[in-house]
A and B are shown apart, each in its own frame.
Chain A
Amino acid sequence: MPPIADSILILLLLTNFFILGTANLRSAIRGVALQGLLLGVLPFFVESHATVRLVLLVIATMAIKGVVIPGLLMKALRDVHIRHEVEPYLGFVPTLFLCAAGTALALLFADHLPLAAADRTGLFVPASLATLFSGFLGLTTRRKAISQVTGYLVLENGIYVFGLLLYQSMMVEVGVLLDLLVGIFVMGIVLNHIQREFSSLDTERLSRLRE
């Protein structure tokens, strides 16, 4: 595994901490955009020789994950007129501690997975697991619907890194990318409706909808 790929993965892990640690929704979205760009260039350092397919994949990934989706989120943020604070259930410091513990556990756990010898080297599997876990943390500890979307995006990025191990079948990833885009559209619409109905994006208000 080339060292450049590992450095990019370390950057990815750092953005995880950044996304979970920032108190501003706008910078969280910027973090997600950065993650998307990082993931976008990653295939160049995995595949030894560039093919047309690879170039197209890289361009599509960077465009969708790095530009289109964050753009949509930023637009949603402007449209719904809310304060740009994250408002977590769990404080920032405990979240970061949990994220650090999760990353450490992921590194340990990856050694025990029954993987092919080629995949054992490099940071791919631990980085993927750690990103998954931070995405999950983002989903579960944040109050606002938009920060749940960012959590979901981070979770999906973790899955994407895992998928890179199987770069022969990257067509699947492209399909997932498309699903993701549609998902974000739907979430945007849902966000607007929540806003209109409850005059807030606080998901706590949604508990009124329970039986």
Chain B
Amino acid sequence: MSALLVLAGVALCMASGLPSLATRRASAATTVIIVAGGLTGLIGAVLGLTGGPTELSLPWHIPGGAVAIRIDALSAFFAAPVFLLAAAGGLYADRYWPAARTRAGYVRAFFGIMTGALALLMCAANTILFLAAWEIVAVSSFFLIATEHEQAVSRSAAWIYVAASHVATLALFAIVALLHAVTHNWAFVPLPHGTGALPIGHALLGLAFVAFGIKAGLMPFHIWLPGAHAAAPSHVSAVMSGVAIKMGVYGLVRVLSLFDAVPSAFGTTLLLAGIASSILGVAFALAQHDLKRLLAYHSIENIGIIVTGLGIGVLAQAHGQPFLALLGYAGALLHVWNHGLFKALLFLSAGAAIHGAHTREIDRMGGLARRMPWTAAAFLIGAVAITGLPPLNGFVSEWLLYVAGFTSITRTPHGGPVLLLVLVVPALALTGALALACFVKAFGAVFLGTPRSAAAADAHEVPFAMRVAMVPLILGCAAIGLVPALFAPLLSSAVHAAAPRLMTTVTLTALLQPIQMPALIVMAAGIAAVLILLAATRRAAPALTWDCGYAAPTARMQYTASSAARGLVGFFAWAMPPVIHAPQPFPLFPSAAAFESHVPDTVLDRVLLPVLRRARWVLSFARYFQHGRMQIYLVYLGVTLVVLLAWSAQ
């Protein structure tokens, strides 16, 4: 039943763009179809999470391939947010990218294809189908990133994405081939006992780290992510950031689940990469002044937190610490859901702010809370959730990882690599504090203060449909934050599908129960505080904030995105040197001057692009073989044939 519903949801999502492609007037039909598809699939996924695994297989003419769907708890766990975001994003797009706007059919069609293929990928039981869905997601994402392809920035983001995606796909091809070589089966079946210790097992894990690391945007493979998320339409960014990068996490977890024992070194790798991603991701986010790039770097941070959790799980399992492993896996998987919810909420509300102020530059916004109160509230809720503050969901998953970190300090009898787990608590704390600073800056500069541009001053609240699309995400954030024990059984079955050999006596319900009451108290206190503040401001007379005695303050005398984060960004200058264009020392009678600073991506702009430019020069000698002369090409063909014949004759 659940497999059938999921497949129906996939089909509806994929087909949803057809009416819009046919005629502009049918865009409402697209919205209805994608919302219906998302909800159908969501019901199927929830049924799959609560019931046992179900399968569905249709023949396919591709050798080794089959349209085989298997909904186990892990697939259902990853597919559920995809369907939810497909429905929310589809509804949001109805107003955000109205039918009258250019390329409305194009955006709707590729959005439907991307979300449908994404859900199909999470449920594929056949590796060839997985590969096919993976490529469909990659290609449709490419087109969505290049939506505004008249802008050079969008084009370059799309090309970088496609290059990174090709590398990941190449590695995935190798993974599929290796899996087949070991199991002689094109389905995802458990690997033989002890594969993890063999060279082929190491190759599989290494390739999985690269392929899925690139897709997930794990540092240092994150190069495509900030540009792509910034260039795509906001509802697409919400899906890409909320669920599409999770296909990397899903692939990693799926491949790990096939091993009977993953080497502890791989756990160490995951842990260190995760910690590096989370800290540097948030540090880069602090330095951004494009609202969507800022959110994109936060995706890298959150993927880092998820991978840290997986690292804890693998490492602890390899060293026989089931309780720690349970905490690691549960924290990682719950954070997959949480990040999907709050990051989508943030992207949708950021999209609303961009819709209102007609710019992505934080320094051209300001004062939007007064003009767009609903959007501001939604963004604030998302910000509280992402920074891991109680009582919202970000806190719950990070709390599980904190517990893992503290437990590892108090009981690590073996020492060795498990000792690395003591890094978890300081890393998480640093990440959380920096994320809080970053969202204080972002919320303050975008929604508080006074407008910095005429467009921001004229901003108005977004249409009803766009606000409604954010409601299920807010409810999700609040529900997981306030009553996490309710979700513990679902999480538990997903954890056991991810790590089939994990045996624990502790249940997640027992772990999550104790934080419910404090969360409720914090929420009640928070609501009370807001009410009291509102009542107090009603009585107060409106006046300017203290303006340091300036007689005529202007909107430019506010903290900007750069100045608010200046101190913290300087702290990370060793990893991300800023580029500053400052005026020379002023002469006696200064004329007009300008100050500008930005932080280029260290991996992409300082390492990869210069290296590739050199490589292009070296490889240009290969053009010598490309004369454009057909006769010579025929000689190449002939020589190749003869060499192959001679080689095969031996």
Contact = CB atoms under 8 A, between A and B. Distances in A.
Contacts, number: 31
Specify which of A136, A140, A141, A142 lies most central, judged by the most chain B CB atoms within 10 Å of its CB. A140
Interface residues of A, number: 16
B620 to A, nearest CB: 12
Most buried by A among B626, B631, B635, B638: B631
Interface string A129-147: 0000000100111110000
A210 B631 contact: no
State the majority secondary structure of interface residues on B: helix
A204 B632 CA distance: 11
A89 B628 CA distance: 15
Contacts of A208: 628
A204 to B, nearest CB: 7
A89 B626 CA distance: 17
A143 B632 CA distance: 11
A189 interface: no
Given A136-B638, A140-B638, A89 B631 contact: yes
Contacts of B628: 206-210
B615 interface: no
Given A136-B638, A140-B638, A207 B627 contact: yes
Contacts of A142: 631
A208 B626 CA distance: 11
Interface string B632-648: 10110010000000000
Contacts of B638: 136, 140
A50 to B, nearest CB: 37
A31 to B, nearest CB: 20
B634 A203 contact: no
Interface in A9-26: none
Contacts of A206: 628-630
Contacts of A203: 629-631
Nearest to B623: A211
A137 to B, nearest CB: 10
Interface string B18-31: 00000000000000
A198 B636 CA distance: 26
Nearest to B641: A136
Contacts of A143: 631
A139 B626 contact: no
A103 interface: no
A144 B476 CA distance: 71
A208 B630 CA distance: 12
A157 interface: no
Interface string A187-211: 0000000000000000110111111
Contacts of A128: none
A112 B426 CA distance: 74
A210 B628 CA distance: 5
Interface in A101-150: 136, 139-143, 148
Closest 5 CB pairs of A and B: A210-B628, A207-B628, A140-B631, A140-B634, A140-B635
Interface of B: 626-632, 634-635, 638
